[in-house]
Chains A and B, each alone.
Chain A
Amino acid sequence: MQDAAGAVVAFEHVTKRYGRSGGPPAVDDLTFTVAAGEICVLVGPSGSGKTTTMKMVNRLIEPTSGRITIDGQDVMSLPAVELRRRIGYVIQQVGLFPHLTVAENIAVVPGLLNWDKPRIQTRVEELLDLIGLEAGSYANRYPAELSGGERQRVGVARALAADPPVMLMDEPFGAVDPIRRDRLQNEFLRLQDKVGKTVIFVTHDVDEAIKMADRIAILQRGGRLAQYDAPAAILAEPASEFVEHFVGADRGLKRLSLNRVSDLELTHPIVVRAGDDRAAARARLRDGDGAGYALLVDAEGRPIGWIDDDELAGGGTITANAARAGAVTVEPETTLRDALSALLGSSVMLGVVVDERERVIGLVSVESISDRLRQAGSPT
């Protein structure tokens, strides 16, 4: 079944006030449009109304004035409950229903929409495959049996289940550690490539915004829109002092987030496996481009660690635990900024680029990153 493409979400003079008059509104006269299939990231300091804005789309919060439309239809024209069944909703703590299995969790909204059983079953299997969880072993597990990252992914699958044209995500990757967050972000970007939903994504992390967004809406305290533009444009030309200050003084470094590892030309490592002959491996290393290290991989092609010339000394075959230095891995979607950060933290200044099944694709180095930066030095 082909996923529906995204819908256009338009905000027209949307305002939200709490309590009686006096004091700034939570959201102030917001007007902007999110194009179909785009990821719009709402970002701003606390009190800027970003979550409030997002929650007005599915009417968890009702606007005081103004209107929000999805593909031209006012969100107020449907009963709230029905509206929400057509919008995907992902929150930071996920909120998987503990009393339902993974499959049952994903099947909730299709069930509410009265899909027939076979259709729901197919859809659940489709989605589990999409998020990389094997249906056979995961479908009947309970949330308590899943790791944090697995729960996040099921949460996203659950939101996609009824194939909604719009997705709302409130700091969905906020509750995990930075490494896993990077993975989850990359995974979501790959997913979005396939499904093309319109996504409204809230975060307080500017770097996440730059990485994920097609367009960023920067909100300031009092709920006013400070700038709405593509990440590169915001970095190149901040619209106000607030935006400049919010994005941070290290705008140059932030530009590193605009480019991904996939933008680089990758070099290729010398790969060895357990059981390979040591002498032969030494020879290959010497004939190579002087990197000085060989990459030890497992049977599936996943990196284990680096081996240098000394460790390859002697006869016999390479053992599985021969590598002394661990390998730092990044993915094609990883931003150059995160890649650089990961490399600087390792003893070997090389990063191994892996695909979604963690198999080796190529190498990045600090040099290749700085070369790319020099090319991108002049603003486009």
Chain B
Amino acid sequence: MNAGEPFIRFDWIIDNLDQIGQRLGEHVLMVVASVLIGFAISFGLALLARSHRWTYGPIIAVTSTLYAIPSLALFVLLIPITGLSLTTGIVALVLYTLLILVRNIVVALDGVPPEVVEAATGMGYGPLQRFWRVELPVATPVIVAGLRIATVTTVGLVAITTFIGLGGLGYLIINSGTRRFFPTSIYVGVALCVVLAVVADLLLLWLQRRLTPWAAAQGR
């Protein structure tokens, strides 16, 4: 950054669109992978916590503790185990989604009105059918709402993976930005992060509305 130079250099943006696009792509990939894997694991843990209630406390305690650890530190602490690679980043990001999603899924399933469950059982749904056809659909709005939070949070955390060399929009913010005293790159990176978070949130909101036409009737 030099005196006399404009604060934001639009010419740089245009010249580097492909690089910017690449970083954006890396970022999106990491977010999607982490959230999907995190959701799958959280779902399993949530089912475990519901069928064996005593595991719920410990699961929440462990994931809460992990959540408190700053992401950079967690990335670093995983390096001895998973090396300096994409795996390290994904594993850490997945661990962060666990706290939000496990608790969220459990609460969502617990929130199905007991009379609905009782009616389903009394009418002759077997336990598996009841879960898939009644409890899960009714719990969907809350689950997707939790996914929204987890996704937006993950978008922010992925930015920090640049410190262990994983690229993403964090690269624009730190490597080509802050480290080089180059505001244009910083602001492009931050702006894209915000846009990505908002778009992801709205997309999931749309998904929620599509999956639950009946929730509109309730005015949710």
Report A's interface with B, CB cutoff 8 A.
Answer: 58, 60, 81-86, 89, 91-101, 108-109, 112, 141-145, 158-159, 168
Contact = CB atoms under 8 A, between A and B. Distances in A.
A158 B123 CA distance: 9
A58 B218 CA distance: 32
Contact of A97 (B120, B122, B213, B219): B120
B134 A58 contact: no
B116 interface: yes
Contacts of A159: 123
Given A99-B137, A144-B218, A81 B120 contact: no
B125 interface: yes
A109 B122 contact: no
Given A84-B123, A99-B137, 19 more contacts: A58-B122, A60-B121, A84-B121, A89-B122, A89-B123, A91-B118, A91-B122, A94-B115, A95-B116, A95-B118, A98-B113, A98-B138, A99-B134, A99-B138, A109-B123, A112-B123, A143-B214, A144-B218, A159-B123
A100 B214 contact: yes
A92 to B, nearest CB: 8
Nearest to A111: B133
Interface of B: 113, 115-126, 129, 134, 137-138, 140, 212-214, 217-219
Nearest to A79: B126
A108 B138 contact: no
B124 A112 contact: yes
Contacts of B122: 58, 60, 84, 89, 91, 168
Contacts of B134: 97, 99
B52 to A, nearest CB: 22
Contacts of A86: 124
Contacts of B126: 81
Given A82-B124, A109-B124, A112-B124, A95 B119 contact: yes
Contacts of B116: 95-98
B138 A97 contact: yes
A112 B120 CA distance: 11
Nearest to A88: B123
A95 B115 contact: yes
B214 A142 contact: yes
14 contacts: A58-B122, A83-B124, A85-B124, A91-B115, A95-B113, A98-B116, A99-B138, A112-B124, A141-B217, A142-B213, A142-B217, A143-B214, A144-B217, A159-B123
Most-contacted residue by chain A among B113, B115, B119 (CB, 10 A): B119
Contacts of B115: 91-95
B196 to A, nearest CB: 31
A258 B17 CA distance: 86
A82 B124 CA distance: 6
B124 A81 contact: yes
A100 B125 CA distance: 15
A98 B123 contact: no
B216 to A, nearest CB: 8
Contacts of B213: 142
Contacts of B117: 95
A83 B125 CA distance: 11
Contacts of A168: 122
A101 B137 CA distance: 13
A99 B117 CA distance: 13
Contacts of A143: 214
Contact of A91 (B119, B129, B214): B119
Nearest to A161: B123
Contacts of A60: 118, 121-122
A98 B129 CA distance: 16
B14 to A, nearest CB: 49
Contacts of B214: 98-101, 142-144
Most buried by B among A86, A100, A168: A100
A268 to B, nearest CB: 44
A94 B119 contact: yes
Nearest to A81: B126
A84 B124 contact: yes
Contacts of A142: 213-214, 217-218
B119 A89 contact: yes
B147 to A, nearest CB: 18
A212 B172 CA distance: 76
Contacts of B124: 81-86, 109, 112
Q: When A and B form their complex, which 5 residue pairs have the shortest distance between CB atoms, in order from nearest?
A: A95-B119, A85-B124, A84-B124, A89-B122, A95-B115
Contacts of A98: 113, 116, 138, 214, 218
Contacts of A94: 115, 119
Nearest to A105: B119
A293 B188 CA distance: 83
B64 to A, nearest CB: 32
